[in-house]
Amino acid sequence: YQSGRPLACDLVFAATVDEECTMAGAVRLAKELTGWDLCLGLEPTGLRMIHAHKGAYRFRLTSRGVAAHSSEPANGKNAIHLMLPVLDDLRRYGRELAVAHDPELGNATLAITQLTAGSSPNIIPDLCTAGVDIRLLPDMEPNAIAAAVRALVGGRAEVEEVYQGRGIHTDLANPLIRRLQEILVDEGHDPASTTAAFATDCAKLAHKGPCIVWGPGHIAQAHKPEEYIEISQLEAAGRMLCRFLTGD
C-alpha cells in the first residue's frame, strides 16, 4: 500500500484469532471463502518456505474419585490411581502411532503434557486431569484418531477434545510458489522449501486450497518470555511480499 504500486492479484488479508488453541479464526475463514490460488500463512520461518507440517489432535482427560483423609485411603477412591492405567495405555498407543512414518516429516508422536490432581498431600484426590497432544502425519485423519482414543479410554475417564487439525502437504509445482522462490533467490535467500513439526492455521485451510507457511523471524524465539523478530528479517519480508503481490 505504501509503495503506491497496484496489486497484481486479488488479495484477502485475514487476521485470524486463536491460532494457538482452537484456530477459530481460520475455521471461520475457511467457511467464508470458496477457495484460492495460494494461501500464505505468515509464521516465523526464517524466510524459508514450509510446504508440509504435521497435524494435531489434543484432548483432556478427567478421572473422578472420592476424597478421603490420606491416613485412611481405603475410605476414598484415588483419582490419580484411576488415571495412571489410562496414561499407560496411551503411552503404548503412542508407540503404535510412531510406527507411521513420513519421509519428510518423520513419525507421528504422542505426548502427555499436563497432569493435575490433589489439593494437599494429606487428602486423597477426588479429581485428576491430564492433557495429551498427538502430532499427526498429513495422511492421518483426526476423527479416526479421536475415535481410537475414545475406544482405548472407554469409561475409565472423560475425554474432552481440545483441538484437531490435519497436517498439510502442498505441491511445489504451483506457479505462485515458484514465483515466490524466484523472489527469494533474487533477494539472496534460500528458495528450497522445508517442513515443520509444529501446526499452523493452514491445518484448517488446506482443504480449501494450496497453502504455504512463510514469514520473518524464527520459531526458536516463539513461546518465550521475550519473543522478537529481527528488524532485518521484517524489512526483507516486507520487501519480498511487496514484490510478490505487485508482480515486480
One-letter amino acid of 129: T
Angstrom distance (rounded) from CA 128 to CA 61: 8
Counting residues of the chain whose pLDDT is more than 70, the rounded percentage is 99
Q: Which contiguous run of DSSP H or E holds residue 180?
A: helix 175-186
Which residues does 235 contact at the CB level (< 8 Å), separation at least 6?
A: none
30 pLDDT higher than 70: yes
Q: What is the DSSP string of 5-65?
A: PPPSS-------S-TTTT-HHHHHHHHH----S-EEEE--BTT--EEEE-EEEEEEEEEE-
Angstrom distance (rounded) from CA 177 to CA 183: 10
3-state helix, strand, coil in the chain (%, to 5): 30, 25, 40
Identify the three-state secondary structure at position 150. Answer: helix
24-54+170-246 is a CATH 3.10.150.10 domain: no
Q: Where are the domains of the chain?
A: 24-54+170-246, 55-165
The CATH architecture of the domain made up of 55-165 is: 2-Layer Sandwich (3.30)
Query: Do residues 159 and 149 make contact, with C-beta atoms less than 8 angstroms apart?
Result: yes
pLDDT tens digits for range 34-46: 889 999 999 999 9
User: Model-level pTM?
Assistant: 0.86
pLDDT tens digits for range 186-198: 999 999 999 998 8
